[in-house]
Amino acid sequence: MIWDRRMETLDRAGLQELQEARLGWSLGWAKGRVPFYQERLKGWQEGMNPLKVLADLPFTVKADLRENYPLGFLAVPRQEVRRFHASSGTRGNPTVVAYTEHDLVVWAEVVARSLAAAGMKPGQTLHNAYGYGLFTGGLGLHAGAERLGLSVIPASGGSTERQVKLLVDLAPDGLACTPSYALYIAETLSQMGISPNEVSLTTGIFGAEPWSNGMRERLEAGFGIQAVDIYGLSEITGPGVAMECVEGKNGLHVFEDFFLVEVINPQTGEGVEPGIVGEMVLTTLSKEAMPMIRYRTGDLVSVNPEPCPCGRTSVRISRIHGRSDDMLIVRGVNVFPSEVERVILSQEGVSPHYQLVFEGHPSRPDLVVELEEMMPGALDGSGLTRRLTSALGVRLGVRIMAAGQVPRSQGKAVRVVSRIKED
Ligand SMILES: [Zn+2]
């Protein structure tokens, strides 16, 4: 189902016209109201073609938000703000984001579109196990689900046995959470002796961490569902910036009437061609409270402009290859945790719970993949080591653990841990 057929199937010329008008508005709004942009957007003047000059304007980066903590980017009077969200701030100041009433309407709208793209229909029920609170996942999905006309079970994270009970007793159609938490729910189901066909779920809406097609297969089999990927980030709005459609299951449609996407070479800052992986840069086209111009997301994707079987005309971004922040360096070689996941989950007998552990001497640490086998003796550790080494170009260790030994996630998975002993 396409929620806003007119906008989601607009022809490219019509979309470009709309983007040009909205981008011009957004640049003027940001420059006129945010001191940071007044300085940065000196190169932009009213009357220029905004789509033509965009590539010459400077980027905005996460550090700019931290330096302007808490509300240096606010573009409206404080009393016009209806909601704040904030990042966890594990590395310094959290990032605070703000929404006007109109911003919240747009956010609910793009989430409604996303849920419809996943296959949800008005009248159905969504079990929302994204965390409610400062994180945008819970409340973001919630508002969009209500806008689409779903009933929502605001389960949030944790208390997994109770969640399983509600999944069985309230018989929701959709489940929204991180893919790693969905795995934990599936595992809890089987520990409680409940088989996938005893739950009514048909649709999984999973995001907020990178995941592979191997993980998709495990989740689809574990629940008997169709699983699709939702993407977003609080700096731009939250979940609902882009969404995979259930018909295509091959990349995420960007809601380009609200978010303008560019993909750049992260070293040079130059745009790259469709199909080439680079860093995604997003510009908000309607955001009032905190407009973002050319925000470097750190997420590595490629753009696919080819038509999609679902009929939506927006470009698709590939599933996130990883974040430039998540990239690990092992013996001088770049390694993405998502790439490790792709390799290990392509092997039969590997359970989808895994962690990457740095250990050994601080000057020359080893990276060891700790994973579980589905059945004792199912895995050949040295064969897996060879496959990982040839796929990643560097030798990683593999440690096969007993079932249940790898820590489970009840929110965002912790994929990388350090057990390096300092001298
Ligand atoms: Zn599609």
Closest CA to 221 of 189, 178, 177: 189
- Please give the distance, rounded to the nearest whole angstrom, from the Cα atom of residue 306 to the centre of ligand 1: 10
**Domain termination site, one of 297, 323, 349:** 323
Q: Answer whether 93's CB lies under 8 Å from 69's CB.
A: yes
Maximum Cα–Cα distance for the chain, whole Å? 69
- Please give the distance, rounded to the nearest whole angstrom, from the Cα atom of residue 167 to the centre of ligand 1: 28
**Residue 304: per-residue pLDDT:** 97
pTM, 2 dp: 0.92
Q: Answer whether 188's CB lies under 8 Å from 161's CB.
A: yes
Please indicate, yes or no, whether residues 117 and 231 belong to a single structural domain of this protein: yes
Question: How many Å apart are CA 28 and CA 38, to the nearest integer?
Answer: 9
- Please give the distance, rounded to the nearest whole angstrom, from the Cα atom of residue 312 to the centre of ligand 1: 6
**Residue 367: per-residue pLDDT:** 92
Please indicate, yes or no, whether residues 305 and 347 belong to a single structural domain of this protein: no
Looking only at the bridges linking them, the beta strands covering 125-128 and 151-153 are parallel
**Residue 347: per-residue pLDDT:** 85
The per-residue pLDDT for range 176-224, each reduced to its tens digit, is 999 999 999 999 998 999 988 789 999 999 998 889 999 999 999 989 9
Q: Answer whether 297's CB lies under 8 Å from 280's CB.
A: yes
Alpha helices in 81-224 (DSSP H): 101-118, 136-148, 160-169, 179-191, 213-223
**Residue 320: per-residue pLDDT:** 81
Please indicate, yes or no, whether residues 96 and 205 belong to a single structural domain of this protein: yes
Please indicate, yes or no, whether residues 15 and 136 belong to a single structural domain of this protein: yes
Q: How far is CA 376 from CA 148, 168, 233, in A?
A: 46, 30, 40
The low-confidence residues of the chain, meaning pLDDT below 50, are none
**Residue 231: per-residue pLDDT:** 97
Find the domain containing 123 and state its range.
Answer: 1-323
Please indicate, yes or no, whether residues 250 and 282 belong to a single structural domain of this protein: yes
**Domain termination site, one of 288, 323, 358:** 323
Q: How many CA atoms lie within 13 A of 292 on its CB side?
A: 27
Please indicate, yes or no, whether residues 113 and 71 belong to a single structural domain of this protein: yes
- Please give the distance, rounded to the nearest whole angstrom, from the Cα atom of residue 315 to the centre of ligand 1: 9
Please indicate, yes or no, whether residues 119 and 239 belong to a single structural domain of this protein: yes
Please indicate, yes or no, whether residues 270 and 337 belong to a single structural domain of this protein: no
Please indicate, yes or no, whether residues 137 and 1 belong to a single structural domain of this protein: yes
The per-residue pLDDT for range 43-68, each reduced to its tens digit, is 999 999 999 999 999 999 999 999 99
- Please give the distance, rounded to the nearest whole angstrom, from the Cα atom of residue 322 to the centre of ligand 1: 22
What are the φ and ψ backbone dihedral angles of 221, each rounded to 5 degrees? Answer: -70, -40
Please indicate, yes or no, whether residues 159 and 127 belong to a single structural domain of this protein: yes
Please indicate, yes or no, whether residues 391 and 299 belong to a single structural domain of this protein: no
Burial class of 412 by CB neighbour count within 10 A (0 to 12, 13 to 18, 19+): middle
Q: What is the 3-state secondary structure (H, E, C) of 142-180?
A: HHHHHHHCCEEECCCCCCHHHHHHHHHHCCCCEEEECHH
- Please give the distance, rounded to the nearest whole angstrom, from the Cα atom of residue 10 to the centre of ligand 1: 13
Q: How many domains does the chain have?
A: 2
**Residue 410: per-residue pLDDT:** 82
**Residue 323: per-residue pLDDT:** 77
- Please give the distance, rounded to the nearest whole angstrom, from the Cα atom of residue 128 to the centre of ligand 1: 23
Please indicate, yes or no, whether residues 96 and 185 belong to a single structural domain of this protein: yes
Domain harbouring 299, CATH code: 3.40.50.12780
Domain harbouring 344, CATH code: 3.30.300.30
Place of tokens 């997301």: 297
**Domain termination site, one of 295, 323, 351:** 323
Q: Report every protein residue that has its C-beta within 5 angstroms of ion ligand 1.
A: 245, 248, 308, 310, 312
Q: By three-state DSSP, how is residue 260 classified? A: strand
**Residue 336: per-residue pLDDT:** 87
DSSP lists the bridge partners of residue 243 as: 230, 253
